Structure 1
Amino acid sequence: MDLTLRIKEINGATDFQNITLKISKPVEGDFFDMSGNYLGSTKQSKKEIYILGRDFLRNPYSRTNLPRGFYDKQISFDGRGNIINSKIGGQYGTIVTNLTIDTRLRLAEKVFNHYYIEAGYNLDELKYKTITDATNDPSGTGYAVTKLGGITSNSEYLKNGEADIKIVYGHIGLNLDTGYDIMSLCAHEHNHLEDLFKYGKKYLNDMFPETKAYTYQTLVDKNWKFVSFRFRANLHSIGLAARTMYKEDYKKAFGDLEQYKGFDPNENISKQTITL
């Protein structure tokens, strides 16, 4: 978190009263520009998502226009393998959970795509080669939905065998706070996709899809143990995982349920006030 100090006087002189000094703590995370392009990660990244804003001329920072000293190591143009200086990152980056909805929506698609690939999945499997927005999908999903043409409902826009994975773009920085959260959700949806390809309608009718997907997401996929508390608590508050998972598996995945009492999924929305 940034600390802003206002200077009252220096050696008794008060000519500096209108000057402020911003002190930024080093951060550990993944960095993207305002368009959602991946720039790299700090050496000890915790998968918190930081967005670079604008320079002093109000031009957006991008891959070709970065703060001095931004990289400790730069080996690629697309961000892969680049190591960002944690102190400079903390000075110029804004954590995604502090951004307004308009700012977050602009970058959601590319950020989701980045973590889908990082999780080990292939966008070329999908009809549109991208994670699409589930906001107005007729399935009425809370987080995300996976479609396969000729198999799932509300998939008439897909030919037989064509796939689409949709995530509500507005959830980035709202309940999908970190890269681990996004990769965990991708694991859930890709588990649906694998089984739809393999079993077709039998999967939907006879194989308890949500039981399988939630069990895989929480007990098999490696990202679950790193997800944010807010993501885990919100899944608990929705209740679908609790209704579909075996009781013993749910307790193992979610831990002591007392920790979620009093959780308000809207608690931090008022803090999302920064527009880049």
Structure 2
Amino acid sequence: MSSIEDKFFENTAFFFNKPDAYMGGSAGMGVDKVYNIEDSSGRTTQKIIPPGDYFDSKGGYLGSDNINDKRIYITSKNDNTGLDSKDDYSLFNIPKGFYNKNGKVNRKVGQSTSVEITNLSYERRIEASAGILRYYYAEAGYNINELKSKSITDVSSNIGALAMTRFGGVTPTSEHLNKGEKDISVSYSSLGNVLNNGFDVINLFAHERGCHMSDAINYGAQLYKMDPEYRAYFFQIKHSSWRYVSPKFKKHVFYVGSPYLYPSQVKKYFGDIK
């Protein structure tokens, strides 16, 4: 391993060696709530259940129920599959009882006025994507204002990638950026399709911002001599959010990422995928 790689892994050891440090840390994950779960035989076990997140139809964050698995819900007065959003809920006309006294979303009311993003129409998912991605970028610990557009841009349909990182003066297809300007793109249509919960999005940002962008900033064009995709996929699967990603997202990472990883790593992190 080169001295540059030594420096990289030394700087990122926090994530690698302390997998639980990310949860509930400075990024505000809030997933360290323990519940007593009783099975059919009456036995009680403790289980950590991350919160479900609620957004309006434009992707504006409304809150968390704190008792779900970080699924993404979109609130609406209608069935939320149509295109007419003039009657949608927002912070300004939220339904009565939507929030508990502690500020968390009341699960019963939230569920009755929301639809999980995986069940939305294509158009409705696209409409909410920019706001939802913006929220999870911040929750992952990054500043959206560092990006040139102050938002997560949509991947061009002719590129065919789930996400892209561009850093002006260093990465390919960054001609629209001045030297040092940053852009991260995610396919809006992937939200609710490949990216099925908040952990999927956060884990994707670990790959793109946590590794690719950091490498471009720290090492410039020299990063292309450092096996950048191996580094990014290894960083991603070692990130604390990995254990909570959805099966569909995990399978996607397996198919696109396993060619860059060592067989032993593939077996360890994707062994349950057939």
Q: TM-score, normalised by structure 2?
A: 0.76
CA contact (8 A) 1:30 1:47 kept: yes
CA contact (8 A) 2:251 2:273 kept: no
CA contact (8 A) 2:59 2:129 kept: yes
Q: Which residue number in structure 2 is paired with residue 53 of structure 1?
A: 76
Q: Which residue of 165, 168, 174 corresponds with 1:155? A: 174
**1:34-91 Cα shifts (integer Å, max 9, x gaps):** 11100000022311000001269962100011111100136xxxxxxx4001111111
CA distance in 2, matches of 1:184, 1:233: 13
Give the 3 Å change call, closer, same or farther, for CA 112–58 of structure 1 in structure 2: closer
1:255: Cα distance to partner? 2.1
Q: Which residue of 222, 228, 240 corresponds with 1:222? A: 240
Q: What SS class does the counterpart of residue 31 from structure 1 fall into?
A: strand
Q: What SS class does the counterpart of residue 71 from structure 1 fall into?
A: coil
Q: What SS class does the counterpart of residue 166 from structure 2 fall into?
A: strand
Q: Which residue number in structure 2 is paired with residue 84 of structure 1?
A: 105
Q: Does 1:39 find its partner at 2:72?
A: no
CA distance in 1, matches of 2:185, 2:68: 27
Q: Which residue of 233, 245, 253 corresponds with 2:269? A: 253
CA distance in 2, matches of 1:211, 1:86: 40
1:257: Cα distance to partner? 3.4
CA distance in 2, matches of 1:222, 1:216: 10
CA distance in 2, matches of 1:172, 1:86: 22
Q: Which residue number in structure 1 is paired with residue 32 of structure 2?
A: none
Letter in 2 for 1:195: D
**1:193-233 Cα shifts (integer Å, max 9, x gaps):** 000000010102x11111000000001x1100000001111
**Number of residues paired by the alignment?**
219
Q: What SS class does the counterpart of residue 50 from structure 1 fall into?
A: strand
CA contact (8 A) 1:41 1:83 kept: yes
Q: Which residue number in structure 2 is paired with residue 184 of structure 1?
A: 203
CA distance in 2, matches of 1:240, 1:123: 27
Q: What is the RMSD of the two structures over their aligned residues, measured on CA atoms?
A: 1.9
Q: Which of structure 1's runs of 4+ aligned residues deviate more than 3 A? A: 55-58
Give the 3 Å change call, closer, same or farther, for CA 148–46 of structure 1 in structure 2: same
**1:108-128 Cα shifts (integer Å, max 9, x gaps):** 001001001101111122111
CA distance in 2, matches of 1:28, 1:158: 37
Greater Rg by CA: 1
Correspondence 1:1-276 to 2 at 5 A: 29-54=52-77, 59-73=87-101, 82-136=103-157, 140-190=159-209, 191-204=211-224, 206-219=225-238, 221-236=239-254, 239-258=255-274
Q: What SS class does the counterpart of residue 73 from structure 1 fall into?
A: coil
**1:88-139 Cα shifts (integer Å, max 9, x gaps):** 1111110000101100001100100100110111112211111100033x6x
CA contact (8 A) 1:37 1:111 kept: yes
Letter in 2 for 1:106: E
CA distance in 2, matches of 1:36, 1:119: 17
Give the 3 Å change call, closer, same or farther, for CA 117–28 of structure 1 in structure 2: closer
**1:237-258 Cα shifts (integer Å, max 9, x gaps):** xx33111011112221112333
Unaligned runs of 5+ in 1: 1-26, 75-81, 259-276
Q: TM-score, normalised by structure 1?
A: 0.75
Unaligned runs of 5+ in 2: 1-49, 80-84
**1:161-203 Cα shifts (integer Å, max 9, x gaps):** 1110000000000010100000000110011000000001010
CA distance in 2, matches of 1:141, 1:151: 21
Q: What SS class does the counterpart of residue 100 from structure 2 fall into?
A: strand
Q: What SS class does the counterpart of residue 43 from structure 1 fall into?
A: coil
CA distance in 2, matches of 1:174, 1:46: 17
